[in-house]
Amino acid sequence: GCGICTKRCPFNAISIIGLPEELSEDKIVHSYGKNRFRLYGLVVPREGVVGILGPNGVGKSTILRILSGELIPNLGKLDEEPSYDKVIKHFSGTELQNYFEKLKNKEIKVIHKVQYVDVLPKVVKGKVIDILKRIDEKGKLDEIIEKLDLKNILERELSQLSGGELQRVAIAAACLRNGDIYYFDEPTSWLDVKQRFNAARTIRELDGRVVVVEHDLIVLDYLSDYIHIVYGVPSAYGIVSHPRGVRVGINAYLDGHLKEENIKFRKEAIKFEKRPPLDASNRPLLLRYSKMSKALDNFKLEIDGGEIYKGEVIGILGPNGIGKTTFVKLLAKIIEPDEGNVEGDIKISYKPQYITPDYDGTVEELLSSITNINSSYYKSEIIKPLQLERLLDMNVKDLSGGELQRVAIAACLSKNADVYLIDEPSAFLDVEQRLSVSKVIRRMADEKEAAMFVVDHDILFQDYISDRFIVFSGEPGRFGKGSPPMNKREGANIFLKEMGVTFRRDQDTGRPRANKEGSQRDLYQREIGEYYYVD
């Protein structure tokens, strides 16, 4: 059992080896009601940046709402009125006692960038520039506009912004205010890699304590000094682990094992094995496309030709608005190039970037119309890792963003095809789901006589699945150029140089890590031009 009930956990999501002392009644910080979600433990803001890492539904946003003073935790006592005095007493003798005293007496100013930025246009109206001017308590407006690349959207109404634009405005608004503590809930959603690092740098430069919830592990790693892992059973309970240094914390997360707490929250560890570079000459050619071009209104795309071999995963990297999706549509023959062509008659399976729940029926009906979903292979390779069991009976139209994404990925991979085109699979997924999806894609590529093209902004994900990279550069919205498929090192090097970040490999896990800007290693790698990593 999981310690909350005596039954076997239906989610089978967690197994507690030792005594579940984390789950005693007196450790409840907040409960949303009888038999509703419970949060055990809390995060302590401290000097530097504290990262919070965990799947969806385990209380990460609840933690931020409590710490930012929006929610007075009830300590699990549902029949009592919650109050800060009770909270202060509960945490007496700990750093949190002091924190809640200050919060109660309004002696600290707290800034909170919320998770769902799409609510902002409903509560704030006006032009971006007017809104930002109004809250510029630091007099740093020009600097922040530059750093977060907001120049082109200053005259736009808030209600007219795309998800990524709204996200950057929300981050700017938080950074312009004079706070003692800043909370950022999922700041990289909708952003491309460059924007993610720009946001991360801007957040790191804040003067004050910072707490960040984030699913992009490379960005979280780059941002944070400490990590709290939150684990548990989504929508049932969440437990906050002790803080760890950022490297050790993320490694423990990938390992799925918290040694000190004696907790195993995932059966398999995620390992970054150094695969030998794929030797294309031994492999049968699958697909050839020539140099292509395509003009769309004000946008012009040019693609260098390429040859793709069976079993390859091609990671596609580049900023927003540079033509990645247009390229994928050219490969899928959804649109025709003005010049050049994709040779041959190949079977394509395509997961679009923007997925709409336009299927009338259940998830089970949808997937059954594509393949036999009852085979043990399908269950173990697709249903289980993509957490689809619970969704099978649901109507496709009722799915949330992350649920729909997993179903769309499953549907794409279930088709029998020569080439799989997967556009932004990690969008809406939490860290745990991203890791599972990357495993599924990698395993399918190794087993099938097929090739995969994957567009994604999560570099850990891309590094894990890709054999080669295609890198897009140019001027977003105006002109884009796609490189030929390049070996991983060369492609990553060109891309990271453009992003202005250098990477290294973690010694223990082999995972890629972004070097802190200006560190010795960062400076050295820039000097020798090795942005990806040096062996």
* Count of positions (residues) in the chain: 535
Residue 49's DSSP bridge partners are: 210
Output the smallest distance, CB 61 to ligand ADP, in A. Answer: 3
Stretch that binds ligand ADP, among 316-324, 376-384, 395-403, 442-450 (CB under 6 A): 316-324
The contact mask relative to ligand ADP for 106-145 (x = CB under 6 A, - = no) is: ----------------------------------------
Q: What is the CA radius of gyration of the chain?
A: 24
Interacting residues of 429 by C-beta distance below 8 A, sequence separation 6+: 215, 402, 405, 406, 437
> Per CB under 6 A, does 293 bind ligand ADP?
no
CB 90 within 8 A of CB 38: no
> With respect to ligand ADP, which residue has the nearer C-beta, 311 or 321?
321
Q: Find the binder of ligand ADP among 188, 325, 502, 525 (CB under 6 A).
A: 325
CB 369 within 8 A of CB 416: no
> Per CB under 5 A, does 414 bind Mg ion?
no
Output the smallest distance, CB 114 to ligand ADP, in A. Answer: 11
The two tokens of residue 271 are 């390992």
Residue 241's binding partner out of ligand ADP, Mg ion, none, with CB under 5 to 8 Å set by partner kind: none
Q: Find the binder of ligand ADP among 43, 44, 53, 58 (CB under 6 A).
A: 58
The contact mask relative to ligand ADP for 452-481 (x = CB under 6 A, - = no) is: -------------------------x----
The two tokens of residue 223 are 């941002």
Interacting residues of 459 by C-beta distance below 8 A, sequence separation 6+: 193, 216, 218, 317, 512
> Per CB under 6 A, does 421 bind ligand ADP?
no
> Per CB under 6 A, does 31 bind ligand ADP?
no
> Per CB under 6 A, does 299 bind ligand ADP?
yes
Residue 62's binding partner out of Mg ion, ligand ADP, none, with CB under 5 to 8 Å set by partner kind: ligand ADP
Interacting residues of 27 by C-beta distance below 8 A, sequence separation 6+: 40, 41
What is the secondary structure of 189-232 as a DSSP string? TT--HHHHHHHHHHHHT-SSEEEEE-S-HHHHHHH-SEEEEEEE
H-helix or E-strand containing 512?
Answer: strand 512-514
> Per CB under 5 A, does 61 bind Mg ion?
yes
Output the smallest distance, CB 281 to ligand ADP, in A. Answer: 31
Output the smallest distance, CB 148 to Mg ion, in A. Answer: 20
Interacting residues of 236 by C-beta distance below 8 A, sequence separation 6+: 2, 4, 11, 37, 38
Q: Residue 16: count other Cβ atoms within 10 Å of its Cβ.
A: 19
Residue 264's DSSP bridge partners are: 15, 257
Output the smallest distance, CB 528 to ligand ADP, in A. Answer: 30
> Per CB under 5 A, does 235 bind Mg ion?
no
Taking the chain, what is the end-to-end CA distance rounded to the nearest angstrom? 45
Stretch that binds Mg ion, among 12-20, 104-112, 350-358, 437-445 (CB under 5 A): 350-358
> Per CB under 6 A, does 322 bind ligand ADP?
yes
Residue 3's binding partner out of Mg ion, ligand ADP, none, with CB under 5 to 8 Å set by partner kind: none
Output the smallest distance, CB 393 to ligand ADP, in A. Answer: 20
Rounded to whole angstroms, the Cα distance separating 274 from 440 reads: 18
Please report where in the chains the tokens 């549902």 appear, as a residue.
78
Residue 362's binding partner out of Mg ion, ligand ADP, none, with CB under 5 to 8 Å set by partner kind: none
> Per CB under 5 A, does 353 bind Mg ion?
yes
CB 218 within 8 A of CB 146: no
Q: Which of the residues 451 through 510 are near Mg ion (CB under 5 A)? A: none
Q: Find the binder of ligand ADP among 324, 351, 434, 457 (CB under 6 A).
A: 324
> With respect to ligand ADP, which residue has the nearer C-beta, 63 or 441?
63
> Per CB under 5 A, does 325 bind Mg ion?
yes
Output the smallest distance, CB 116 to ligand ADP, in A. Answer: 10
> With respect to Mg ion, which residue has the nearer C-beta, 61 or 483?
61
Please report where in the chains the tokens 């989610």 appear, as a residue.
11
Rounded to whole angstroms, the Cα distance separating 109 from 64 reads: 14
Output the smallest distance, CB 61 to Mg ion, in A. Answer: 3
Phi, psi of 190 (to 5 degrees): 75, -10
CB 248 within 8 A of CB 70: no
Q: Residue 333: count other Cβ atoms within 10 Å of its Cβ.
A: 14
Rounded to whole angstroms, the Cα distance separating 78 from 34 reads: 8
Output the smallest distance, CB 455 to ligand ADP, in A. Answer: 7
| Number of residues lying near ligand ADP (CB under 6 A) | 23
Q: Position 196: which residue type?
A: R
Q: Residue 245: count other Cβ atoms within 10 Å of its Cβ.
A: 12
Output the smallest distance, CB 488 to Mg ion, in A. Answer: 22
Nearest to 441 by CA among 535, 246, 456: 456
Interacting residues of 477 by C-beta distance below 8 A, sequence separation 6+: 298, 299, 321
Q: What is the DSSP letter of 362?
A: B
Output the smallest distance, CB 401 to Mg ion, in A. Answer: 13
Q: Residue 277: count other Cβ atoms within 10 Å of its Cβ.
A: 11
The contact mask relative to Mg ion for 90-119 (x = CB under 5 A, - = no) is: -------------------------x----
> Per CB under 6 A, does 32 bind ligand ADP?
yes
Q: Find the binder of ligand ADP among 62, 202, 466, 502 (CB under 6 A).
A: 62
Q: Find the binder of ligand ADP among 60, 112, 266, 294 (CB under 6 A).
A: 60
Q: Find the binder of ligand ADP among 98, 235, 290, 473 (CB under 6 A).
A: 235
Given the rule CB under 5 A, which residues bind Mg ion? 60-61, 115, 324-325, 353
Given the rule CB under 6 A, which residues bind ligand ADP? 32, 36-37, 56-62, 235, 296-297, 299, 318, 320-326, 477
